[in-house]
A and B are shown apart, each in its own frame.
Chain A
Amino acid sequence: MNPARKRTVRLVVALSVAVVLASALIYTSFSAASPALSPSQLLHQAQPGRSYLLTGTVLAHSVVRNGAVLDFSVADRAGGTAVPVAYTGTVPDPFKEGREVIVTVEKQGGEYVGERNSLITKCPSKYKETPSSEKQPS
C-alpha cells in the first residue's frame, strides 16, 4: 500500500473510532443523567424508581436525626413548596437550615429517599445573599 493511501486509511479508522466513542459518551451521558428539579417540579414530575437531583434550601426547623437517618425538608429557593427527604450518609459540615443544598433523591412509595453520600451543601463563604460589598459602596 502506498504511503498516502496508508495515511488516508489510518485517518479514516481514527476518525471512525473517535465518532463511535463520542457517540457512546453522548448516549451514556443522557441515559445516566439525573434531571435537576426544584421541590415544586419534583412533586409534579417524580416517577418512582428514577433518580432526581433535588435543589433548594433546607427548610427551617425541619432537620431531625433519627439514628442513621437524617430527615429534613428542601424548599423552593423562593419559598413555598417543600419536599421531605430521608437521607443517610455523609453530611457536609456546611449543612444547616436555610442553606442551599443539592441531593440526589428517589421516590419510594410516598417519600423521597436521599441517595447515600449524595448531599452537597454550597460553601457559605461563596454563598452570600447580601454581602456588605454589595450593600453600600461609598
Chain B
Amino acid sequence: MATLGRVCLLLALVVCVYGIAASIYGVRTGRFEFSESGRRSVYALAGILTVAFAILEVAFLHNDFAFNTVADTSSRTTPTFYKAAAVWSSQEGSLLLWAWLMSLWSSLALFLTRRRIRDVAAYATAIMLGFGGFFIALMVFYAQPFATTHPAPSEGVGLDPLLRFPTMMIHPPMLYSGYTLCTIPLAFGMGALLARRVDAEWIRVIRRFAFGAWFFLGIGILLGARWSYSELGWGGYWGWDAVENASLMPWLTGTAFLHSLMIQEKRGMLKVWNVSLVLATGTLAIMGTFLVRSGVLNSIHAFGGQTLGVPFVVLIAVLIASSIYLVVSRRDMLRTEHRLDSLLSRESMFLANNVVLVALCFVIFWGTYFPLISEALTGHEASVGPPWFDRYTVPLALILVLLSGIGPVIAWRRATLANARRNFLAPIAVALATLVVLLAAGVTGKPGAIAMFCCAAFVIGSIGQEFFRGVRARRAMADEAPPTALVALVRRNRRRYGGYIVHVGIAVLFVGVAASSSFQHASELGLSPGQSSRVGAYTVRYVRPTASVTPDYDSASTQGGRELSVVIRAEPGVTLGPDTARTGATLSLGAVLDVSKGGHHVITLRPSEGFYASEEPTQGSVGHLIGGQPVSHVALDAGVTRDVWTAIAPNIETPQLKRIIALGNRTLPYIHPGEGMVAIAAMAAAYMKSPPQAQFHLIVSPLVMWIWLGGLIVVGGALIAIWPAPSVVRHPGDRTLARPRRARPGSRLSSARSPFTGF
C-alpha cells in the first residue's frame, strides 16, 4: 500500500512536469492539441491524487501503524470519525489534502472553461500544475505521507484530543478548499496577463471560483472561531494569532475583489486594481499555507519544524516578482475605460470599500509579520498584541459596515440630493432610533460598540428598504402575494439579493462581536463544592463534582473490565461509560454547576475536563492512561441574548491521587490496560469522596449567538448569490441553448432601476 502511494506521488510529479511543458508548448506554438493534453494532465493528476489520498485514508481506518503518519496521529482508541479525519492533522497528510483539493478544483475550473479563452486557460493550466508539482515535490522530498517503519508499532500516539471536535475536523478541508480555490483566479489572472487578454472575459470565467474561495475560506474561519469558543478553555473566538490572521487576509482581499470586479464588468474600470487583488489574494493564500508550515512565527496552530520554510519562501518570492513584472509590463493594456464621475456614486463607495478592506489586510499583515519586520530592522524580535490590532481594526470595521449599507442604495455615476433623500432617510431613521433605544436602555460607556450597533441598524434599514421596494414593485406589476413576490424577487436576481443578505449577515455578525467583546463579564477562581461566585447578573454555585471512567481498549469484556465494573458499582457518583463528549477520554472529571439569576434557577451546567492516554512508558502502567493531553469540555448555555460559558480545571495533583497512581504503577502490569483502569476508577472514587478545590472559568457574554447566526446568514446569502440563475440552467439534452426566458417583471424592474446586479 505504502509503495503504491509513493508510486502515485512520483507519477503525479511526472504528470505535472509533462502538463506544464505541454501547455506552454501548445500555447506558444499555436498547437492547441498540446494545450488540450496539458488540460487532461490536470484531470489525470486529480485521479492519481484521489488514489493516493484513498490509500492514506484506508491506512488510517485500518490502524496501519507501519505508516509513520498513522502512528503519529491516530491510535486504536481514537473514535472512527476522528480516525478518518486524522489524515489532515499531520504535516504530510495536510499537504496531500492540499494538493488533492487543488487538483480537483483545477479540474473543475478547466472543465468549465474547456471551450473558452483557450490561450489564457493554457497558461493557467501550467501555473496550476506548477502549484501541484510544488506540493507533490514537498511530499516526495521533505514530508513523506507514505514513509513507513518496520516493524510497525503495535499502537499509535492518537489524535490530539484538542482536535476531537466535529467542527475542527471539517474546518481544515473548508480552509484548504478556500486556499486552493484562491490559486485558480491567480492562475487565470496570470494567464490573462501572459496571453495579453485582459478584457472582462477572464474575470467572468473566474468569478464563480473567486466567490467559492471566499465562501469556503469564510466557512473555515467561522468553524475555527466556533471551535476556539466551544472547545478551547479560554472562552474567546478570535485571538489575532498569526495562523488565524493568515486565513483572514486572503478573505479580505477576496471580498474586495468580489466588489471591484463588478466595476470592471459594468464600467471597464479598475483593471489594474482587480488583477492586483487577484494576484495578491492567491499569494496571501500561499503565504497562509507557508505560515502554518514554516514555524517562522510563533503560533499555537503552526506545525513544528522549519524544513518547509525555504521552498515556500522561494515560491512566494517567485509569485511576488512575477506578479509585479506582469502588471507593470502590461500596464498599457490595463488602462481604465472610464473615470469616476463623482465621489458620491456607487463606484466611489465600492472603491472606498476596497480601500478599507485592503487597509484592514495591510494592518493585519503588518501586525502578523511584525516579529520578522522588527528583527530585520532592529535586530530584536518583538510582537504586537490584540490591543494594537483592535486600535486599527475597530474603526476600519465601523467604516466597512457603514459602507455596506451605503453601497447597495446609492446611485451609479453621480448621486443627487433627491436620490440621497429618497434612499437614506429610512436607514438613517432606523440607526437613530437604535441609538435612542440603546441610550434609553442605559447602554453607555462603550462608544465603539454603540457606533457599531447603529451602523448595523443602518445596514439592515437600507437592505430592508431595498427588499421592501422590490416586493412592492413586483406586487404592483404581477399582483403577487408578499411572500411569493419576495421569493420571486430573490430568484430572479440571485446575485444581487444574495449579496444583500450577505451584508445583513455581516452586520449581525459584527453586532455579536461588538457586544460580546465590550459587555462581557468573566471570572476565574477556585471553588470547592457548595461555594458560589457572581458573574455579571448570575450566581454560579458549585453543587458537586462528577467523574466518569471510560473502559479503554474495549476492555469492558476482559478481566480488568469486569473488575472495573465492580469497582465503579461500589463507588457512588462515579459513572462507567464514554465521556459525555465521546472523544475517547480515559477519565473525565467535572462539576455540576447551578446557575441562577435573582434567586431563580436558570440552568444546570456540567463542565468537565477529559484526561487522555499517552504513549509515554515513563509515566507508568496507570499514569500513562491519563498522561496525555487534558482537554476542557466546556458547558454552555447559549441564548439569543447571552451565553453563560463555563470551564473547569480539576486538580489531580493532590497527594492522595498521586499516591493511587504511584501504587498502581508499582503493582499493575503495563500489558493489561484494563487492569490499570481499575486504579483510574479508584482515583475517580477518591476524587469524588474528597474533592479538592477546582479552578473555574466563568463567562457571561451578550449576543455571542449573533456571531454564529450572522455567519449562517452570510452562508445562506452566499449560496443564493452563487447559485446559477434560472436563465442559465440547461434542459437535459440541450447542450447549447439556454432556457427560453419568460416574462420577468422583477428582473426588468431591477435593471431599470439600477445596473447593479451584485452586492
Contacts and interface: CB of A to CB of B under 8 A. Distances in A.
Interface in B351-385: 359, 362-363, 366-367, 370-371, 374, 380-385
A33 B629 CA distance: 32
A65 B524 CA distance: 13
Contact of A90 (B149, B234, B374): B234
B387 A32 contact: yes
Given A122-B298, A137-B68, 9 more contacts: A29-B384, A34-B383, A90-B697, A91-B233, A92-B233, A93-B232, A102-B298, A123-B300, A138-B149
Interface residues of B, number: 61
B363 A25 contact: yes
A89 B525 CA distance: 9
A28 B391 contact: yes
A125 B524 CA distance: 27
Interface in A1-57: 3, 7, 21, 25-26, 28-30, 32-36, 53, 55
A97 B648 CA distance: 19
A104 B298 CA distance: 13
A124 interface: yes
A53 B233 contact: no
B717 interface: no
B380 A126 contact: no
6 nearest CB pairs, A to B:
A125-B160, A133-B68, A33-B382, A137-B147, A36-B381, A90-B234
Interface stretch (B69-77, B177-185, B566-574, B579-587): B69-77
B553 interface: no
Contacts of A28: 388, 391
Contacts of A131: 68, 72
Given A128-B72, A136-B149, A29 B370 contact: yes
Interface of B: 68-69, 71-73, 89-90, 92, 143-144, 147-150, 153, 159-160, 162-163, 232-235, 298-305, 339, 359, 362-363, 366-367, 370-371, 374, 380-385, 387-388, 391-392, 524-526, 629-632, 649, 651, 695, 697
Given A35-B380, A138-B148, A92 B232 contact: yes
B72 A30 contact: no
Contact of B524 (A55, A89, A126): A89
Given A68-B525, A93-B233, A126 B301 contact: yes
B73 A34 contact: no
B69 A104 contact: no
Contacts of B69: 133
B630 A93 contact: yes
A86 interface: no
A94 B304 CA distance: 15
A94 B162 contact: yes
A125 B162 CA distance: 9
Contacts of B524: 68, 88-90
B631 A93 contact: yes
User: Contact residue range for chain A?
Assistant: 35 or more
Main secondary structure of the interface of A (DSSP, over half): mixed
Contacts of A21: 359
Contacts of A91: 233, 649, 695
B6 to A, nearest CB: 10
A88 to B, nearest CB: 7
Contacts of B68: 131-133, 135, 137
A129 B157 CA distance: 14
Interface of A: 3, 7, 21, 25-26, 28-30, 32-36, 53, 55, 65, 67-68, 88-94, 96, 102, 104, 117-118, 120-129, 131-138
Nearest to A88: B524
A128 B102 CA distance: 27
Contact of A133 (B72, B374, B381, B697): B72
Contacts of A120: 298, 300
A33 B370 contact: yes
A53 B382 contact: yes
A55 B148 CA distance: 34
11 contacts: A25-B362, A25-B392, A30-B374, A68-B526, A91-B649, A92-B233, A117-B234, A122-B299, A131-B68, A132-B68, A138-B147
Contacts of B384: 29, 32-34
Contacts of B374: 30, 33
A132 B66 CA distance: 10
Contact of A34 (B299, B302, B382): B382
B637 to A, nearest CB: 20
Contacts of B299: 122
Given A35-B382, A90-B235, A29 B366 contact: yes
B149 A93 contact: no
Contacts of A104: 385
A114 to B, nearest CB: 13
B647 to A, nearest CB: 9
B632 A32 contact: no
A135 B632 CA distance: 32
B697 A92 contact: no
Nearest to A135: B149
Contacts of A26: 366
Contacts of A92: 232-234, 300
Contacts of B385: 32, 34, 104, 118
Contacts of B371: 36
Given A92-B233, A131-B68, A65 B651 contact: yes
Contacts of A138: 147-150
Contacts of B144: 133, 137
B388 A125 contact: no
Contacts of A118: 385
B145 to A, nearest CB: 8
A131 to B, nearest CB: 5
Contacts of A88: 524
A28, A35, A123 — which one has the most chain B CB atoms within 10 A of its CB? A123
B397 to A, nearest CB: 15
A126 B649 contact: no
Nearest to B381: A36
B160 A53 contact: no
A133 B23 CA distance: 36
B142 to A, nearest CB: 10
Contacts of B525: 68
B144, B147, B153 — which one has the most chain A CB atoms within 10 A of its CB? B147
